[in-house]
């Protein structure tokens, strides 16, 4: 499998600017072979402003950005893309727009068959997985399916938050919500990516990068913690 993925938990880390915390990984990921990146701003309402933000940042890294929402034919834009970046925002709106513009299958094909590098942040990371069932977002719109692009055989919970023992909040913790997800049959494992962490996938190899640990939730098993640099390639097996 030719897939190359950079799945980032968050676009902005506290104390820094847009994509500042992962800019070195972005430059290494897209490398010198990619000159233009196709940006997908569907997760936010103001796509023009979002595109300007992404375009300005990527130019500082040496890349030009074409936005899919500016293309007359979104499917053709995906077919011609040298690299793809799907930004964060509302995951339900993002996935609905991907289906509405009929690009889900083409993105999957370009990434898995052609080896086009795919970067996602937050919602863009959610849609790279099996489904968006473990997103943190509200269903402000309804996509035709919760099934996502399916570039990896597991789910991710970006912006994962640990339980605060001193909190007086009485709602479910993030861990409890993921546990509820696993009460349903045939649900894949969930990788909780804390802010500051990201997953690099190259073929059948997966490595945790960034500055924070990640937590893995598997149905019927004890949760596990992984440090940056950990080899998580076992997650890419359908039998995990």
- Whether the per-residue pLDDT at 239 is higher than 70: the answer is no
Span 84-139, pLDDT tens digits: 999 999 999 999 999 999 999 999 999 999 999 999 999 999 999 999 999 999 99
67: annotated active-site residue: no
* Catalytic-residue membership of 21: no
Q: What is the pLDDT of residue 153?
A: 97
CB-count burial class (<10 Å; 0-12, 13-18, 19+) for 12: middle
Binning pLDDT at 50, 70 and 90, where does residue 165 land? Answer: confident
Closest CA to 80 of 124, 123, 35, 41: 35
162 pLDDT more than 90: no
**Architecture, CATH, for domain 4-235:** 3-Layer(aba) Sandwich (3.40)
Across the range 173-193, mean pLDDT stands at: 94
> Helices 104-112 and 91-100: crossing angle, nearest 10°?
90
Residues 6+ apart with CB under 8 A from 89: 41, 42, 43, 44, 50, 122, 123
Does residue 62 come out as left (phi exceeding 0), alpha (psi in the -120 to 50 range) or beta?
left
Residue tagged active-site, from 131, 137, 197, 213: 137
Kindly report, residue by residue over 3-38, the tens digit of the pLDDT.
Answer: 999 999 999 999 999 999 999 999 999 999 999 999
pLDDT at 170: 74
Mean pLDDT of 169-179: 87
What pLDDT, on the 0 to 100 scale, is given for residue 85? Answer: 98
Where do the H-state alpha helices sit in the chain? 23-30, 47-60, 74-80, 91-100, 104-112, 123-126, 174-181
137 noted as active-site residue: yes
Instruction: Please pick, among 159, 179, 230, 233, the residue that the annotation labels catalytic.
Output: 159
The three-state secondary structure class of 190 is strand
Please report the sign of the dihedral spanned by the C-alpha atoms of residue 119, residue 89, residue 180, residue 173.
Answer: positive
Residue 197 has pLDDT above 80, yes or no: yes
What does the pLDDT average to over 207-227?
97
Q: What is the pLDDT of residue 238?
A: 63
Helix 23-30 with 47-60: angle, nearest 10 deg: 80
- The per-residue pLDDT for range 63-87, each reduced to its tens digit, is 999 999 999 999 999 999 999 999 9
The active-site residue out of 122, 131, 133, 197 is: 122
* Terminal-residue alpha carbon distance, the chain: 18
Structure tokens at 96: 């609905």
pLDDT of 1 over the 90 cut: no
For the chain, the helix, strand and coil percentages under 3-state DSSP, each to the nearest 5: 30, 20, 50
């Amino acid at each position: 499998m030719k897939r190359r993925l950079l799945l980032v938990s968050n676009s902005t880390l506290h104390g820094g600017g847009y994509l500042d915390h992962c800019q070195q990984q972005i430059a290494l990921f897209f490398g010198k072979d990619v000159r233009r990146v196709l940006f997908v701003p569907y997760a936010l309402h103001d796509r023009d402003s979002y595109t300007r933000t992404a375009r300005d940042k990527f130019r500082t890294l040496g890349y030009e950005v074409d936005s899919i929402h500016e293309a007359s034919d979104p499917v053709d834009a995906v077919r011609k893309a040298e690299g793809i970046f799907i930004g964060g925002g509302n995951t339900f709106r993002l996935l609905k727009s991907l289906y509405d513009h009929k690009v889900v299958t083409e993105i999957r094909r370009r990434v898995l068959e052609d080896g086009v590098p795919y970067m996602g942040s937050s919602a863009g990371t959610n849609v790279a997985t099996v489904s968006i069932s473990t997103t943190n977002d509200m269903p402000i719109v309804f996509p035709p399916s919760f099934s996502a692009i399916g570039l990896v055989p597991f789910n991710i919970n970006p912006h994962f938050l640990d339980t605060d023992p001193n909190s007086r909040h009485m709602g479910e913790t993030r861990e409890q919500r993921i546990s509820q997800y696993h009460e349903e049959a045939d649900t894949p494992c969930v990788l909780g990516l804390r802010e500051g962490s990201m997953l690099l996938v190259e073929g059948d190899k997966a490595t945790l990068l960034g500055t924070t640990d990640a937590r893995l939730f598997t149905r019927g098993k004890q949760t596990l913690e992984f440090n940056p640099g950990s080899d998580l390639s076992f997650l890419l097996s359908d039998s995990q």
